[in-house]
A and B are shown apart, each in its own frame.
Chain A
Amino acid sequence: MLNARMFPIGRWLFLLMVVVMSCPAIASATETMVGGAPSKPWWFWPIILFFFCLVLGVLAVMAGVGGGVLYVPLVSGFFPFHLDFVRGIGLMVALAGALAAGPGLLRRNLANLRLALPVALIASTFSIIGAMLGLYLSRLNPDLIQTCLGGTIVGIAFLLLFSKNTEKPVVTKQDAIGLALGLQGLYWDDGARESVEWKTHRTLLGLFMFILIGLLAGMFGLGAGWANVPVLNLVMGVPLKVSVATSKFLLSITDTSAAWIYLNRGCVIPLIAVPSIVGLMLGSILGVRILAVAKPKFIRYMVITVLLFAGLKALDKGLGLGFLG
């Protein structure tokens, strides 16, 4: 019964994705052919963007990735907006998603404040530097930031493909910094019907890695869940559930600081920002409902393939190769 329901939903989602992904690409191609002044009325792209983000929101939930990491490469690749605006709005999209998820995660005690606070301070400080560096490099040479974005997206696609997170990492001895900061806790695992105790190790290394995560999040407007989770889980030894929840909550802090830099610089255009934010949030709500009857693994591989393509397209565009149009 469930399989019979899953197949049409998977097929429907696949078709929807193909149609929606092709819409901006086709429209962009016709616009390029006309050249000079835009051939479309002002409302054309915001409407396409809203539906595009709606599907993106559904896929992001099902693939277990954040909205920002899909939004920036895909919108910069298939829509006529400059990367400066896409990065700024990408951060607002990631911020809105994290703010929406935060209350539930905190109430269920899955997102751990003690773990999030020191990490957030490092990541948010460096995301400001990343955002300023990104805007500076973009002004210096937009192709440079496009190429770096492409390389990062390709790296993220491989990270999502090969990263093997551990449900409950074994931490035999807590290190001194983790102990001093009290980075340990207890959470209730609904699936296993047991309480799980956890503590961190390699805390200093983990904290250092958040410097790089903050820089990348700010520079490319990607959000950073794709990097937060492996560092918390694989490096610091935090259980996967706590890592995922704390990472999502963390984004509400890290992205706030970087988003302000873009917002103050004028990189958030309301005409395209609001359809993006609302579309992705509605899509995420829909995604949670569809998740119960669909095959997330298939969607995850599909999203990784799309990310890989979007990354290669950004690389192609940045290096001026012209292989991918």
Chain B
Amino acid sequence: MPAMDNQSLKPTKEQIIYANLLLMGMLAGIIIMIITYTIYLTGLLPSHVDMQIISANWGKGIHEYLEITHSPQGWEWVTLLGKGDFINFIGFTLLGTLTIICYLVLVRGYYREKNWIFATISVLEILVLSLAASGILGSGGH
């Protein structure tokens, strides 16, 4: 076995920043989800879709469900932030955008190292995740 190389065994600076960002974002996301769900269940904010209607239709396919409940697709939920059910999307969105934010740190690190292969891979990943998040591919067509 090779001799222990302390430097190689340690995580890189970018790796630590990535880990810290991930930890803070994940904790914030979970706390936000619990708070917004409590607001939703206690009825502090009115719901866009009545819970009884949701439970009567959650066995139907997504297209039928959206038509019956008049639920939004893509980022249209932002216009319904005053509704108890849709404030829950703040937590979901935070969890979904965390990786994109963390990748920005990696791009900076690889750019400084002049590691063009991994800087390109990181930029491409940001583009892929942003495309998925944009709603261009995921929404519409119902």
Which residues on A are within 8 Å of B, measured CB to CB? 37-38, 40-43, 45, 80-82, 84-85, 92, 95-96, 99-100, 102-104, 106-109, 113-114, 117-118, 120-121, 124-125, 128, 131-132, 135, 138-139, 142, 180-181, 185-188, 194-197, 252-253, 256-274, 277-278, 281
**Is B124 interfacial (CB 8 A cutoff)?**
yes
A80 to B65, CA, bound (A): 14
The one of B23, B59, B86, B138 that contacts A261, using a Cβ cutoff of 8 Å = B138
Number of interface residues of B (CB under 8 A): 72
**Does B1 contact A260, Cβ atoms closer than 8 Å?**
no
B-chain residues with CB within 8 Å of residue A268 when the two chains form the complex? 92
**Does A106 contact B96, Cβ atoms closer than 8 Å?**
no
B-chain residues with CB within 8 Å of residue A42 when the two chains form the complex? 51-52, 54-55
Q: Given that A99-B26, A118-B121, A264-B139 are known contacts, is A92 also in contact with B19, CB under 8 Å in the complex? A: no
User: A257 — nearest CB in chain B belongs to which residue?
Assistant: B132
Which residues on B are within 8 Å of A, measured CB to CB? 1-5, 8-12, 14-16, 18-20, 22-23, 25-26, 29-30, 33-34, 36-37, 40, 51-52, 54-56, 58-63, 65-66, 71-75, 85-86, 88-89, 91-92, 95-96, 98-100, 106, 117-118, 121-122, 124-125, 128-129, 131-133, 135, 137-139
A139 to B95, CA, bound (A): 27
A194 to B65, CA, bound (A): 56
B-chain residues with CB within 8 Å of residue A253 when the two chains form the complex? 99, 125, 129
**Does A266 contact B11, Cβ atoms closer than 8 Å?**
no
A-chain residues with CB within 8 Å of residue B91 when the two chains form the complex? 274
**Does A263 contact B138, Cβ atoms closer than 8 Å?**
yes
B-chain residues with CB within 8 Å of residue A259 when the two chains form the complex? 96
A99 to B27, CA, bound (A): 9
User: A37 — nearest CB in chain B belongs to which residue?
Assistant: B56
**Does A270 contact B62, Cβ atoms closer than 8 Å?**
no
User: B50 — nearest CB in chain A belongs to which residue?
Assistant: A42
**Does B65 contact A256, Cβ atoms closer than 8 Å?**
no
User: B40 — nearest CB in chain A belongs to which residue?
Assistant: A270
A-chain residues with CB within 8 Å of residue B11 when the two chains form the complex? 106-109
Kindly provide the distance from the CB of A45 to the nearest chain B CB, expressed in whole angstroms. 7
**Does A266 contact B96, Cβ atoms closer than 8 Å?**
no
Kindly provide the distance from the CB of B132 to the nearest chain A CB, expressed in whole angstroms. 4
**Does B59 contact A81, Cβ atoms closer than 8 Å?**
yes
B-chain residues with CB within 8 Å of residue A99 when the two chains form the complex? 22, 25-26, 29, 95, 98
**Does B55 contact A40, Cβ atoms closer than 8 Å?**
yes
Given A106-B16, A196-B1, A257-B132; 14 other pairs, CB 8 A cutoff: A43-B51, A45-B55, A96-B29, A99-B26, A103-B23, A103-B26, A114-B118, A121-B121, A139-B63, A197-B2, A252-B98, A256-B129, A264-B73, A270-B85
A266 to B14, CA, bound (A): 34
Kindly provide the distance from the CB of B142 to the nearest chain A CB, expressed in whole angstroms. 8
User: A44 — nearest CB in chain B belongs to which residue?
Assistant: B55
Most A CB atoms within 10 A — which of B4, B11, B63, B88?
A: B11
User: A194 — nearest CB in chain B belongs to which residue?
Assistant: B1
The one of B4, B98, B129 that contacts A257, using a Cβ cutoff of 8 Å = B129
A-chain residues with CB within 8 Å of residue B2 when the two chains form the complex? 186, 195, 197
Kindly provide the distance from the CB of A31 to the nearest chain B CB, expressed in whole angstroms. 10
**Does B33 contact A256, Cβ atoms closer than 8 Å?**
no
User: B86 — nearest CB in chain A belongs to which residue?
Assistant: A270
A257 to B71, CA, bound (A): 22
User: A139 — nearest CB in chain B belongs to which residue?
Assistant: B63
**Does A106 contact B59, Cβ atoms closer than 8 Å?**
no
Kindly provide the distance from the CB of A159 to the nearest chain B CB, expressed in whole angstroms. 27
User: A92 — nearest CB in chain B belongs to which residue?
Assistant: B92
**Does A266 contact B132, Cβ atoms closer than 8 Å?**
no
User: A168 — nearest CB in chain B belongs to which residue?
Assistant: B1
User: B110 — nearest CB in chain A belongs to which residue?
Assistant: A117
B-chain residues with CB within 8 Å of residue A195 when the two chains form the complex? 1-5, 9
A and B contact pairs by CB, cutoff 8 A, 21 listed: A43-B51, A82-B60, A84-B62, A95-B95, A103-B26, A106-B16, A106-B19, A117-B106, A117-B125, A139-B61, A181-B117, A186-B8, A188-B9, A197-B1, A197-B2, A256-B98, A259-B96, A260-B138, A263-B96, A265-B139, A269-B58
